[in-house]
Amino acid sequence: MNESIARQLLGLLSFTLAGAAVGFYTSNSLLIGALSGSIIWSTFSAILNAKLVRWIDLNLNSPDPKLPFEQGRIVRSIAEYRNKTEAEYDEIHADMDQFQAATSAMKDAIVIIDNQDTIEWWNNAAEEILELTIEQKHKKVKQVFADPFFLDFYSQSSDIDSFKADSSDHKRVLEYRVESFGDNEKVLIVRDISESEKVAQMRHTFLANASHELRTPITVIHGYLETLQEQELPKPIQKAIQSMQSQSRRMADLISDLLTLSRLETSSENKSRKPIFIREMLKGIAEEAVDVSGPKQHQISLKMDEGFDILGNEGEVRSALSNLVFNAVRYTPPKGVIDITLETLDNGVLFSVTDNGVGIPAEHIPRITERFYRVDEGRSRDSGGTGLGLAIVKHVLVRHNAKLGVTSKAGEGSRFNVTFPESRVVKI
């Protein structure tokens, strides 16, 4: 039986018994006494219940009524629950205030979006940067952000890290990021990167101009050195000319890679969706790799699935994939094994180059796509490297929404993977 009912019954029983005893001793009537006892208890209980109900109905915040018996116990339980809820509410409120104060102080726009892609909340900076207005609250993302490229990015936000675009008045450059949290809710963070873009643009322009200006003198020097090499000259001078020639070739390669990089860096995505005859391209690269290997006689194999092509810029993709294949040749000792594969995945296409060469120690892997980052300076230079190959690969892949993966073990070999997403694959 419920404890509360038991206590009520006990009260009724006690009053009834007390009434019966009083009735018996005063008027010798057990029944009348018992009846009177139970009526007194019921009336008293009804008054207490009424006070309790009025307190609950009217204002739980008024002072707690001092009630005896079971009603008193109910008042204490309700008051305890109310105090706990109030404390929790105050705590949530304080957290909210703190969150609002922190996000208001931020220069980045922050927009909270629920799992139905409805805009729920934003900070002050969002009103300034994105020009959001109160009418846009509870609207869908696609109603508020019209740019189809942004919506593309938003819907597949796990694939690409960030999206850059001009502000609506074209006065600033904005960088958008989307992070998921909770029950597939999202937070959109938008940063004004106009200043850093301007600096980057100046750096690119300087690099492109400097490389361009250097190209002509180097070509001239190289030409004269070739002519000189054909002359009958004393041995030490011939040796010096040979060395000057190899250095000037290195400089020419460096300038050519720098120009390629600066061209790639000027825009974030290659919008070209032309089919690339990828199998023909890879056959050509594999043949060139055999030439590069020359007397080193690497065993180079090529395995490819059929029925698809890659969409993008042929020159860029060729440069990225050939860089990976030629690196495998350069960093694998003579007679080493190099496997090139191209396979279809459920959601894209995977290109891979696996070698059993010198490998890369784990601590270097995160940095090898940085410009001029070399695991072994001497080895890279000896093999004719500019230190820019993987930086070019990275940029080309970003521009094709593709991802680079590297697994390697020092002394055992390396595997470089490139995953092209479905959007960059066409069935044939």
Footprint of ligand ADP (CB under 6 A): 327-328, 331, 355, 357-360, 368, 373-376, 380, 385-391, 414
Our CB check for ligand ADP shows the closer of 285 and 390 to be: 390
Instruction: State phi, psi for 42 to the nearest 5 degrees.
Output: -65, -45
Our CB check for ligand ADP shows the closer of 112 and 390 to be: 390
Shortest approach of ligand ADP to residue 204 CB, angstroms? 19
Instruction: State phi, psi for 2 to the nearest 5 degrees.
Output: -60, 135
Our CB check for ligand ADP shows the closer of 78 and 290 to be: 290
Instruction: State phi, psi for 163 to the nearest 5 degrees.
Output: -135, 130
Closest of 360, 368, 341 to residue 412, by C-alpha: 360
Q: Do 331 and 374 touch, CB atoms closer than 8 A? A: no
Our CB check for ligand ADP shows the closer of 172 and 250 to be: 250
Helix (H) or strand (E) holding 402: none
Instruction: Please give the structure tokens belonging to residue 14.
Output: 């006690």
Our CB check for ligand ADP shows the closer of 217 and 333 to be: 333
Amino acid of residue 133? T
Shortest approach of ligand ADP to residue 354 CB, angstroms? 9
Our CB check for ligand ADP shows the closer of 36 and 380 to be: 380
Shortest approach of ligand ADP to residue 401 CB, angstroms? 21
Shortest approach of ligand ADP to residue 385 CB, angstroms? 2
Rounded CA-CA distance 13/6 in Å is 10
Q: How many CA atoms lie within 13 A of 184 on its CB side?
A: 5
Shortest approach of ligand ADP to residue 265 CB, angstroms? 15
Shortest approach of ligand ADP to residue 219 CB, angstroms? 21
3-state secondary structure of 284: helix
Nearest residue to ligand ADP, using CB?
385
Instruction: State phi, psi for 409 to the nearest 5 degrees.
Output: -135, 130
